[in-house]
């Protein structure tokens, strides 16, 4: 008789799953904290140009966005590039108002640091963009950012 049995043909024991919820919760909290919900629904097509010399936008709370591009619903709004502020299409002369309300929403100390990020579809003509830039100058919002993807330009 042998005292020391060789374990053969028994297979591996089942993995202890009692700590599984903890791991899942940890992941869940991570994603919950890092998630930023999209604030606006895009009504224009967005295909950003690529550039190599890009800088990161610091402090997302101090950035306001202006979207310019051809409308997604071409049958209704045509294919000419339009400006979108918040959730709706806007005309160029509505920009000062938009900037004013964006300024209003920030506290006093942050207002001069407000950056306007221009998210422009890459097939847009510069005419619209130039108009927007002129309006921004008039509104006194001088810090702008041409939103681009990082990569090698084709």
Stretch in the footprint of other proteins (CB under 8 A) among 3-11, 82-90, 97-105, 136-144: 136-144
Give me the phi and psi of 91, to 5 degrees please. -100, 165
- Element at 79 (helix H, strand E): none
Contacting other proteins within 27-66 (CB under 8 A): 27-28, 31-32, 34-38, 49, 51-57, 60, 63
Residues in contact with 45: Cβ distance below 8 Å, sequence separation at least 6, in sequence order: 69, 70, 71, 72, 121
- Our finding on whether 20 is near other proteins (CB under 8 A) is yes
- Our finding on whether 24 is near other proteins (CB under 8 A) is yes
Give me the phi and psi of 82, to 5 degrees please. -120, 160
Instruction: Give 6 or 52: the residue with its C-beta nearer to other proteins.
Output: 52
Virtual torsion, Cα 83, 87, 89, 90, nearest 10 deg: -70
Contact residues toward other proteins (CB under 8 A) are: 20-21, 24-25, 27-28, 31-32, 34-38, 49, 51-57, 60, 63, 115, 117, 120-127, 129-130, 133-134, 136-138, 140-150, 153
């Amino acid at each position: 008789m042998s005292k020391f049995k060789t374990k053969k043909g028994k297979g591996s024991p089942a993995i202890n799953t009692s700590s599984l919820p903890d791991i899942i919760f940890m992941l869940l909290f991570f994603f919950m904290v890092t998630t930023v919900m999209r604030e606006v629904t895009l009504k224009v097509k967005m295909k950003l140009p690529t550039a190599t010399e890009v800088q990161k936008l610091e402090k997302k709370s101090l950035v306001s966005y202006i979207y310019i591009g051809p409308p997604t619903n071409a049958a209704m709004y045509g294919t000419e590039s339009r400006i979108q502020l918040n959730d709706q299409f806007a005309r160029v002369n509505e920009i000062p108002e938009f900037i004013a309300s964006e300024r209003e929403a920030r506290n006093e100390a942050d207002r001069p640091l407000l950056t306007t990020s221009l998210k422009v579809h890459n097939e847009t003509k510069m005419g619209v963009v130039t108009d927007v830039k002129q309006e921004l100058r008039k509104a006194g919002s001088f810090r702008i950012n041409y939103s681009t993807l990082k990569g090698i330009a084709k």
